[in-house]
Structure 1
């Protein structure tokens, strides 16, 4: 006589189906000493809503013909989440987040706001999940659902990827030192600015404007790249180094 699922929340409320023979007319289903609520019954199955409980209990079905042999049901506590890393990423999603805590081994879903993702359970204290595409930039609550219930309390921030245009001015001496302004979008979390792959000192003015000072370079056009927590934007050949005069 199988029971499915064979585990559920300590708070009760799990829909459980017991299959077997001669189950028609079931009058009671016990989880340990507690009665479950019968919601459906045929000659080969009984569906119930589990009562609250803890630990491992015996489940029996009583019909006019007697009481069945017992089956084991395991009560699982709600998960506890301790941390999430990283705590932000691109609105397009696709990056992998690690969640640590306890009671995670039966995790079946991780929700980022209203968006659900299927986790990969590493062990009872850790799982990983690929972040789904966000609806918009901003913070959303993160919840983990296990056989023991759902736990909230963590936050993840979706960040739009940056965009940039050519610096102003768009050229300067190969010796570097040119102060330029870079305009774009989603620049507040800028982590680096490079000219031809060489890091440049920069200042974030606001979400649409950066100022930077060109590092020394080689004569010719180079790519300008801005990296934020939302990704990297590149303006191909965006700045031209001009060789100094020689006599």
Structure 2
């Protein structure tokens, strides 16, 4: 006498189909000591709505002819999410993030706002998922659905590739140390600022402004590149490193 599915949420409400023989006229289906609601019944199957419960319980079907052999049903608690490996990424999606927590082994879906992705279960504490494309730039809720229910509580931010529209000043000494104010768009998730390929310390002021301090560089032009979680942007004109005077 198979039971499908053989697991469900501790809060109940799972539609469960029990198949076998001589099941017609079923008068009761017990999940442990609790009665399930019968929604359909034939000679070979009984469909019920599981009651609330916990742990492993035995399921039996009672008909005018007696009570069946028991089958195990496993109650699964709602999942708990502890962390997301990345909290932002490109609007186009496609990047893989890792979600850690507990009760994730039966995960069937991860929602990013209204968009759903199918996760890969690594263990009860880890799943990975390819982020779907977003509908618009901004933050959306992240939820994980398992046999035990759905858990929310995290947000994920879709971002555009940055742009660099201007920076001042446009030049400085080869010794570095020049404070530079960079303006553009989608700068709030800036991960790096480079001058001629050399990393510069930076501070995010807003989504449209980043300040950086030039590293030492060779005399001449140096491309200014800003990188965020969605990609990189190169300023239209390079920063000019100026050689010091000599006599």
Q: Same fold (TM over 0.5)?
A: yes
Give the gaps of 5 or more residues in structure 1: none
Cα pair distance change 1:199/1:2, threshold 3 Å: same
1:129 is matched with 129
Aligned Cα RMSD in Å?
Answer: 3.0
- CA gap of 1:117–1:242, structure 2 versus 1, over 3 A, is same
1:232 is matched with which residue? 232
Q: Which residue pairs with 1:186 in the alignment?
A: 186
Change over 3 Å in CA distance of 1:103–1:200 after alignment to 2: closer
Contact kept, 8 Å, 1:159 with 1:230, in 2: the verdict is yes
**8 A Cα contact 2:166 2:184, kept in partner:** no
Question: Could you say if the C-alpha distance between residues 153 and 183 of structure 1 is closer, same or farther in structure 2, counting changes exceeding 3 Å?
Answer: closer
> Cα deviation per residue 1:177-210 (whole Å; 9 max; x = unaligned)?
7776544211233332213212245555543344
For 1:17, the equivalent position in structure 2 comes to 17
Unaligned runs of 5+ in 2: none
The answer on whether the counterparts of 1:166 and 1:239 sit within 8 Å (CA) in structure 2 is no
**Which one is further off, 119-128 or 212-221?**
212-221
Kindly provide the CA deviation profile for residues 143-185 of structure 1, in whole angstroms up to 9, marking residues without a partner as x: 2211111222222222332122465676788776777654421
Matches within 5 A, 1:46-195: 46-165=46-165, 182-195=182-195
Aligned residues: 247
Cα distance per residue 1:37-96 (max 9 Å; x no partner): 111222222111001112222212222333222211111122222222222222222222
Q: Contact between 2:9 and 2:149, CA under 8 Å: does it hold in 1?
A: yes
Matches of 2:209 and 2:82, distance apart in 1: 37
Output the CA distance in 2 between the equivalents of 1:38 and 1:105: 29
TM-score under structure 1 length normalisation:
0.82
Find the residue that maps to 2:190 and give its secondary structure: coil
Question: Where do residues 208-219 of structure 1 align in structure 2 (5 Å cutoff)?
Answer: 208-210=208-210, 212=212, 215=215, 217-218=217-218
Contact 1:24/1:44, CA 8 A, preserved across alignment: yes
Scaled by the length of structure 2, the TM-score of the pair is 0.82
* Alpha-carbon distance between aligned partners in 2 of 1:202 and 1:39, rounded to the nearest angstrom: 63
Aligned to 2:41: 41
